[in-house]
A = this chain, B = another copy of it.
């Protein structure tokens, strides 16, 4: 109820603040007898972790997952998988400047009003550091999903975007550049743009596209737990996300029915896929694809006026090492959340 759990059958509960002792989580409902590929899990962690390239924050966090339960002799036991990730950087920083002041477009103000007491260091619970726990669970969910393949990538940074359909992209190139854009010439422009923005002490938004292949027909539960509704909630729960669209999305709202309808082939596949692989909230076997919008990171290296607890105007100066663009590090988070949503419906579908 307090919002720190996600999923029904494949359930993740997370805990932890940015600068506490550790963050972590409990995965409840992972099926037994899965031989976990621990290296694959750590690899997902590395894709999210700070310091991985020159265009992300240079903070150092090893982000090593320590599993505490639910795995025995390399295989899942069906019991809850508890894990922690220690906060290496926890003691070093000076956060006195945000102790009593509210950073603009951050959660400081609302946390203070809602809870009356908060761990202000590095944003505490509202920090995107929490998403590291999601990546652990997502990496395990991917292993539950077997043949279902989830690929997310950076599709735009500011006003630079990939102008090709996803079918023309080579997903094996996603990890070949720091911005995680499979279109190499666009990737170069994006990277240049991020570097320029960082030089200005500013930040920039972007979008991530996610494509899911080999989805069986039948995942999703009408009427409230439509597959795309749960995917949407999952994405919107990621820090900095402002929008979600799937299939034709907002463009679909401009179209006519005669243009938008996906006609069937005799085998039940469709000739077009404006539906985005989902009809009536249930997967139809075609590719699922959706797009997620991220706002620019709120912490900028420029001076801004803000207020303190007592309503006094104070000058806030960006400090520390922050991401000029959150999108490349968010790619594995998008995949992780998608994997958890699918794992949930995948397990539930066994009931039918």
Interface residues of A (CB under 8 A from B): 1-6, 8-9, 11, 13-17, 20-26, 28-29, 31-33, 66-70, 72-73, 75-82, 84, 102, 104-107, 109-111, 113-119, 124-126, 130, 156, 158-159, 197, 200, 202-207, 217-218, 220-226, 228-230, 232-234, 236-237, 239, 242-250, 252-268, 270, 274-276, 279-284, 293-300, 302, 304-307, 311-313, 347-352
Q: Which residues of the other chain, B, contact A250 by a CB distance below 8 angstroms?
A: 207, 242-243, 245, 250, 293
Query: Are A204 and B244 interface neighbours, CB within 8 A?
Result: no
| A-B pairs, 3 with minimum CB distance | A107-B280, A3-B221, A243-B245
Query: Are B296 and A264 interface neighbours, CB within 8 A?
Result: no
Cβ contacts A to B, 16 pairs, < 8 Å: A2-B28, A77-B119, A104-B261, A105-B261, A106-B280, A109-B284, A113-B218, A203-B257, A205-B260, A229-B233, A243-B245, A243-B250, A258-B300, A258-B302, A259-B296, A268-B307
Q: Which residues of the other chain, B, contact A125 by a CB distance below 8 angstroms?
A: 69, 77, 79, 222-223
Cα distance A220–B25 when bound, in Å?
21
- Say whether, besides A16-B68, A107-B280, A228-B236, A253 and B351 are in contact (CB < 8 Å): no
Which of B79, B126, B242 contacts A245, CB < 8 Å? B242
Closest to A21 in B: B68
Q: Which residues of the other chain, B, contact A258 by a CB distance below 8 angstroms?
A: 200, 202-203, 300, 302
Cα distance A193–B158 when bound, in Å?
33
Oligomer copy total: 4
Query: Are B348 and A260 interface neighbours, CB within 8 A?
Result: no
Q: Which residues of the other chain, B, contact A204 by a CB distance below 8 angstroms?
A: 255-257
Query: Are A279 and B107 interface neighbours, CB within 8 A?
Result: yes
CB distance from A57 to the nearest CB of B (A): 14
Q: Which residues of the other chain, B, contact A223 by a CB distance below 8 angstroms?
A: 3-4, 14, 125-126, 130, 237
CB distance from A22 to the nearest CB of B (A): 5
- Say whether, besides A118-B77, A126-B280, A221-B1, A296 and B255 are in contact (CB < 8 Å): yes
CB distance from A65 to the nearest CB of B (A): 12
